[in-house]
Structure 1
Amino acid sequence: MSPAFRLTPLVFALTSTASLAADNTLTGDWGGLRQQLEEDGIHITGDYSGETAYNAHGGLHRSARYSQNLKLGVQFDLSKLYGLDNGGKVQLTVNDRRGNSASEDLVGNRLPIQENYGGLYTRLTELSYERSLFTPALNLKLGYMAMGNDLGGLDSGILCNFMNAGFCGHPLNMSGGSGWTNYPNAHLGARVKYDLSPSWQLRVAAFNVDPQSNGNSSRAWHLGPKHSTGTVVPVELVYKVQGERPGEYKLGYYYDSSNVKRIGSDQDVAGRSGHYLLVDQALWNDPASAGRSLHAFGQYSASSKAASPFTRWYGAGVVLYKPFEGRPRDTLALGYGRAVPNPRSRQLLENTALDAGRDFPGLDSAEQLIELSYGYQATPWLNLRPDVQYIIEPGAFSGEAIDNALVVGLQVKATF
């Protein structure tokens, strides 16, 4: 065997390793096929997230729990595929979730410690069509989708520098007290975006409300509703600050026309509503290091006392981008959140305890969360996030006397 031939596998291995560390995706360009598909109008995506959480102190039990989410998607650019003028795009997404809940099994709190836990089965999460309409300033999207993909969260993605679902995504009292649904729960609906100016945008949507399909594995591939109760209509005004210190501000309102049982009563209440304010603002940029900046975020959400399990959510925190000179894509995040139970729900728990001859524990008025995380971008396609969460009054929603919990975790995200 010639020396050149013997060296070939080694050279190939070194090249593959270097490529793996530099590629934007784990699977690379598929020998050029991926790039060719992109040019033809077919964009294929895939990602994995795994979240392990260990309850080190307080809560219910000392142990660990793991949950995961797999997502595969394909987007068809009809303009490229068929040579159409403003043909629009079709998005197809499939989602699979597995694992166990640290909140349910180990701590007993309301705000999910693992944001990717819930709906443990394979499902269709989006089949939608999107295009501009009449003018480039007006964008329409309709089909089967999660409304939280387009409304109720910050576009910057700053909130997903955390592992707890109280931060990552959308204020949870919105989905707890109305027909609002977040990923992976999807419903039939339509969303319109209109650019009022380069800085201002208006978003309006309407989605079918179908509580019986949420988290129901038998409805995993059914686009149509099982039992419609009404329509939820969110309206959102977005303002984006341009310049050296960018910012994003969202003011939203939503109304759900469904009739539901009033908490503590056998009577129905007609309609549920809520409002929210979300902020992401850059506070500081390092003039000596491009990309290093400090952002602050804030969340406030209020929902109807008639039927919402918790009526207020407050969240605030900071995220430092590029915390070290040699780590340009890393992040350091610290957040505080407070979820306030509905006083009517608390009264029901107290009455139930008294009727059973039990004392009701002296609980604070809210479940509180402090979270610290570090996002380590190991490669362009792999992010490792060590995470610490301290949960105050885990039993605020259940009426149980549960010690404050200290949870340590690790989130792994990979792009295929």
Structure 2
Amino acid sequence: MFLAVGFSRSTLLQGLLLGLTCTATLPAFAADDSDLLSRSTLTGDWGGLRHQLDADGIKFSGDYSGETAYNADGGLHRSARYSQNIKLGVQFDLSKLYGVDNAGKVQLTINDRRGNSASEDLVGNRLPIQENYGGLYTRLTELSYERSLFTPALNVKLGYMAMGNDLGGLDSGILCNFMNAGFCGHPLNMSGGSGWANYPNAHLGVRLKYDLSPAWQLRVAAFNVDPSSNGNSSRAWHLGPKHTTGTVVPIELVYKHAGALPGEYKLGYYYDSSDVKRIGSDDEVSGRGGHYLLIDQAVWRSQSSEGRTLHAFGQYSAASQAASPFSRWYGTGVVLYKPFEGRPRDTLALGYGRAVPNPRSRDVQQDAALANGTAFPNLDSAEQLIELGYGYQATPWLTLRPNLQYIIEPGAFSGQDIDNALVFGLQVKAAL
């Protein structure tokens, strides 16, 4: 029907994005809205309309993140780069809309990314200094359906979505107290050496969550692998794959415990059935996989100040030695919640990460240098990252996060002799 009146699927979705934007911004000036500094979102309750729509089963959401990074020393160049991401979404609760028990929910999410990369332009390192850089265009990020199936313990979600929404990261959100993508999200060697795609890249798939007990949960998923669509602006509004190479299947066991010192533990494995070239060879690898362990554990709680806690986190991930550009990732750090009395929603975060290049990749670079008659630099065995950041909750909807990143051996993956880099950053997050 849309084709008959001259509409394409792309036109329809872009029109919806414009409509979501207008809906999310224009009503913010309603006279009976709450104060700008105290409401939970930038655009407020739209004069009561937003709350009413939510009660009826239509929930709008949105957020903005802007990340500025200035390379003060080392790396390639002294300068600054800025990148941003705007996410708009709407969720339809079918049970509320139609008065049917367990009818499920439909989620629609659209992303727009713009800007420039500090890692590519200024430092030359592998782990993105700005976690929101990549895929600089407007795209459909999720169109999914979710509901319980057979039993309340089993939750099923299927459709077009990003793998990292439910797998590979810590549900607590502790890792996104950092600006570098080495921390925020999931370990990057998952996507570097398999069909596991980074957000906001989305693929067709299905995800199952089964509650084994109040503390234990099993998660299993299967996603289409379509590398030619990742970061391809011409595929921004296409749900179907362009060229399927296989299926990636992650399996995750999750343990969460409550109490005075709560914790979250994830043990995962993934396998991609795609055939790919073995690094340093013309032969193909039939399938590739990896495993990971993620931990977020509260280690201290103040007895005199409610909400002041210290959490420690850990990350370990190993990927296919045959096909992944870097074989292992280690990350650890601490986050202090409510660092000061009177600042209950602020955070202070310190993290260290180490990304280990695949020795096969290093051999390829050394052979290429030898063939060209050039010397190969004496590099460390890994790119290392130290990040210190303070999350300042300026208003309930606005977070300012100044941070400092020190990149050790930035050229470990490219085979270049690059000086260690000192980067000053500022992340701004706003709930729309």
So what's the TM-score if we normalise by structure 1?
Answer: 0.96
Quote the residue 2:142 is aligned against. Answer: 126
Q: Given that residues 178 and 308 in structure 1 are in contact (C-alpha distance below 8 angstroms), is that contact kept between their aligned partners in structure 2? A: yes
Residues of 2 paired with 1:48 and 1:39: CA distance? 24
The letter for the 2-side match of 1:40 is D
Q: State the one-letter code of the partner of 1:339.
A: A
Aligned to 1:394: 410
1:320 corresponds in structure 2 to 336
Moved over 2 A (4+): 15-18
1:379 equivalent in structure 2: 395
Q: What residue in structure 1 maps to residue 61 of structure 2?
A: 45
Distance 1:93 1:196 in 2: 30
2:118 to 83, 93, 102: 102
Deviation of 1:182 after TM superposition, in Å, equals 2.4
Distance 2:198 2:374 in 1: 37
Residues 269-284 of structure 1 correspond to what in structure 2 (within 5 A)? Answer: 269-284=285-300
Q: For 1:10-409, what aligned pairs fall within 5 Å after superposition?
A: 19-409=35-425
In structure 2, distance between residues paired with 1:174 and 1:19:
44
Cα distance in structure 2, aligned partners of 1:335 and 1:81: 44
CA distance, structure 2, for counterparts of residue 333 and residue 346 of structure 1:
33
Paired amino acid for 1:409: G
Counting matched residue pairs gives 403
Q: How far apart are residue 256 of structure 1 and its match? A: 0.1
Please give the alpha-carbon distance, in whole angstroms, between the structure 1 residues aligned to 2:260 and 2:54. 32
Offset at 1:17? 10
RMSD of the alignment, in Å? 1.1
1:164-221 Cα shifts (integer Å, max 9, x gaps): 0000000000000000012100000000000000000000000000000000000000
Structure 1, gaps ≥5 residues long: 1-12
Distance 1:17 1:389, change over 3 A: farther
Judge conservation of contact 2:33–2:46 (CA < 8 Å) in 1.
no
Partner Cα distance (1:185, 1:235) in 2: 20
In 1, the alpha carbon distance for the partners of 2:354 and 2:199 equals: 22
* Contact residue 149 and residue 182 of structure 1 kept, 8 A: no
**1:6 corresponds to:** none
- State how far apart, in whole Å, the 1-side matches of 2:138 and 2:368 are: 38
For each residue in 1:121-172, what CA deviation from the matched residue of structure 2 results, as whole angstroms up to 9, or x when unmatched?
A: 0000000000001111100000000011100000000000000000000000
- For 2:199, give the aligned amino acid: Y
Deviations 1:98-129 (A, max 9, x none): 00000000000000000000000000000000
SS in structure 1 opposite 2:240? Answer: coil
SS of residue matched to 1:175: helix
CA distance in 2, matches of 1:291, 1:384: 20
Deviation at 1:16, TM superposition (A): 8.5
In 1, are the aligned partners of 2:33 and 2:44 still within 8 Å (CA)?
no
> Quick check: 2:33–2:45 contact (8 Å CA) kept in 1?
no
Amino acid corresponding to residue 143 of structure 2 in structure 1: L
CA distance in structure 1 between the aligned counterparts of 2:363 and 2:33, rounded to whole angstroms: 60
Question: Kindly, what percent of the aligned residue pairs are identical?
Answer: 83
In 1, the alpha carbon distance for the partners of 2:385 and 2:132 equals 18
Q: Distance in 2 between matches of 1:29 and 1:344?
A: 55
Aligned equivalents of 2:414, 2:291: Cα separation in 1: 25
